[in-house]
């Protein structure tokens, strides 16, 4: 039988008890994918957000369970904006959020997995709040991420939101029920993109050097935590991460992302990921559908 906790191991009334915030506030269906544990205001448009990172995760912890991935930081920063929009700025649940720009820079030497789940603290500053009829419709925010008082990452996001009815008009009636994703083609060998499970590979073998078709698996439990009518931004960022690994090899370690999103990537059209090396160990990534770009991302890397 498993050992029951001793009374001395249980929290006392003077200790802080923590739990995840309601998953709906961070636009997640699974409690296991809800990273935030609380928030409070520090001043006008400035907030403290708390989180907890698991010591193991299908995508966001390295396969040897020694380090947190930069995209875990990215998801934490993204969830912070959604939480504050709803909880601090009274954006109604059910509004559709549109990610426009994202910048995250991490310090990989500070992202080691320890003997307990990490508990990052975020200081979030919101600015450029846009309003219509007195209600907020968009904002930008900066996030400083620390663990135990040590700076581990910084982030910036620009996001807007709209009502369900307006979103449906923008989407031309497309819904998760009415759109069928293309069958995902076979993937690259997992080791080429620093993955261990074939189902987590999001790039097909290259059509030509530096060009891959995006594999969209709507059954993936992290990228498609809930049904969507488009390719999610985190899947596009993972494609940029994997493209950087495919170009740079096993010793290439992505540490930063600077992405902009031009339009929705549709599920029923092929998405092509193109990447080339840039200056200063950067990889420039472009996502293309048809003749136009859906997103672009500059990935900063270091040698592992």
Given a contact cutoff of 8 angstroms between Cβ atoms, the answer to whether 128 and 100 are in contact is no
CA–CA separation, 95 and 4 (whole Å): 44
Return the CATH fold of 173-303: Thiol Ester Dehydrase; Chain A (3.10.129)
In terms of residues, how long is the chain?
304
The pTM for the full model equals: 0.93
- The listed CATH number (3.90.1150.10, 3.10.129.10, 3.40.190.10, 3.40.50.300) that belongs to domain 16-168: 3.10.129.10
Domain with CATH 3.10.129.10 in the chain: 16-168, 173-303
Given a contact cutoff of 8 angstroms between Cβ atoms, the answer to whether 71 and 234 are in contact is yes
- Give pLDDT tens digits along the chain (304 positions): 444 444 444 444 445 567 899 999 999 999 999 999 999 999 999 999 999 999 999 999 998 999 999 999 999 999 999 999 999 999 999 999 999 999 999 999 999 999 999 999 999 999 999 999 999 999 999 999 999 999 999 999 999 999 999 999 999 889 999 999 999 999 999 999 999 999 999 999 998 999 999 999 999 999 999 999 999 999 999 999 999 999 987 678 899 999 999 999 999 999 999 999 988 889 999 999 999 999 999 999 998 7
CA–CA separation, 188 and 201 (whole Å): 7
Distances (CA, A) of 247 to 199, 251, 269, 277: 20, 11, 25, 8
CA–CA separation, 250 and 245 (whole Å): 6
């Amino acid at each position: 039988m498993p050992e029951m906790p001793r009374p001395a191991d249980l929290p006392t009334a003077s200790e802080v008890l923590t739990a995840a915030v309601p998953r709906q506030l961070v636009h997640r269906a699974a409690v296991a994918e809800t990273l935030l544990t609380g928030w409070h205001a520090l001043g006008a448009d400035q907030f403290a957000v708390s989180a907890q990172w698991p010591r193991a995760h299908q995508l966001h912890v390295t396969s040897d369970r020694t380090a947190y991935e930069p995209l875990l930081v990215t998801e934490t920063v993204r969830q912070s904006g959604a939480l504050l929009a709803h909880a601090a700025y009274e954006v109604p649940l059910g509004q559709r959020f549109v990610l426009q720009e994202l910048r995250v820079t991490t310090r990989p030497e500070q992202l080691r997995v320890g003997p307990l789940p990490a508990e990052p603290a975020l200081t979030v500053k919101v600015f450029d709040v846009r309003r219509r009829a007195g209600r907020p419709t968009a904002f930008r925010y900066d996030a400083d991420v620390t663990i135990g008082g040590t700076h581990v990452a910084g982030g910036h996001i620009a996001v807007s939101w709209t009502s369900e009815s307006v979103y449906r008009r923008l989407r031309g009636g497309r819904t998760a029920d009415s759109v069928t994703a293309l069958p995902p083609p076979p993937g690259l060998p997992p080791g080429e993109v620093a993955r261990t499970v074939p189902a987590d590979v999001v790039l097909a073998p290259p059509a030509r050097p530096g060009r891959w078709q995006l594999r969209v698996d709507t059954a993936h439990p992290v990228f498609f935590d809930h049904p969507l009518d488009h390719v999610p931004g985190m899947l596009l960022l993972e494609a940029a991460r994997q493209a950087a690994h495919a170009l740079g090899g096993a010793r290439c370690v992505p540490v930063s992302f600077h992405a902009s999103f031009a339009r929705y990537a549709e599920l029923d059209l092929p998405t092509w990921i193109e990447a080339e090396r840039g200056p200063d160990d950067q990889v420039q990534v472009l996502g293309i559908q048809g003749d136009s770009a859906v997103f672009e991302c500059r990935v900063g890397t270091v040698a592992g």
